[in-house]
């Protein structure tokens, strides 16, 4: 009888780290950013991808845009369940400076978004995507910081949207 309890305790001990490991394996994997074309209603290519055009004068350029869709990619592992209560918080802070502008007036940095969104279903590669809308974008650099809420030991993710205006 003692041996039966020992095996059960050993089996339980082996299972506990697995369930904890699957939760800590959840991590923020990257940002994507798409400009919303004010003239056509279409989204640009991912402006943070390799080879994307520079983000100067986007408010008046060929793809005139004053809004940006930011997408946060979360990796959970193939066929992994979404942890209960897991959410993504995105904080977007607009820089007060316009380094190439003729009007170099000093402005304070300002938070343009501080929002939490829920994780949706996971695709067959183990990823889920959460979108956030940024209004009034285009001339000031925006620093992005994403956090996993409700998941222990998850590192935040940071990124930069290098908007600038040359006038």
Mind listing the pLDDT tens digit for each residue in 97-156? 665 555 555 678 999 999 999 999 999 999 999 999 999 999 999 999 999 999 888 899
Q: Which band of pLDDT confidence, cut at 50, 70 and 90, is reported for residue 18?
A: very low
pTM for this predicted structure? 0.80
Task: Of 29, 158, 149, give the one whose Cα is nearest residue 89.
Answer: 149
Q: What domains does the chain contain, in order, with CATH numbers?
A: 25-161 (2.60.40)
HSE toward the beta carbon, residue 46, CA cutoff 13 A: 10
Task: Give me 79's structure tokens.
Answer: 């066929």
Closest listed residue to residue 159, CA positions, set 76, 81, 65, 46: 46
Residue 145: closest CA among 108, 92, 95: 92
């Amino acid at each position: 009888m003692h041996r039966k309890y020992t095996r059960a305790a050993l089996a339980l001990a082996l299972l506990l780290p697995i369930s904890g490991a699957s939760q800590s394996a959840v991590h923020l994997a990257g940002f994507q950013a798409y400009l919303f074309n004010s003239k056509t209603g279409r989204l640009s290519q991912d402006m943070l991808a390799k080879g994307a055009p520079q983000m100067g004068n986007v408010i008046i350029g060929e793809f005139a845009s004053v809004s940006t869709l930011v997408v946060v990619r979360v990796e959970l592992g193939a066929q992994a369940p979404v942890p209960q209560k897991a959410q993504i918080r995105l904080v977007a802070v607009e820089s007060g400076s316009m380094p190439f502008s003729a009007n170099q007036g000093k402005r304070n940095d300002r938070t343009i978004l501080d929002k939490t969104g829920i994780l949706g279903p996971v695709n067959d590669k183990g990823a889920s995507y959460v979108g956030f809308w940024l209004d009034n974008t285009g001339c000031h650099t925006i620093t992005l910081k994403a956090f996993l809420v409700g998941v222990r030991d998850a590192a935040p993710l940071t990124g930069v949207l290098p908007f600038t205006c040359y006038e």
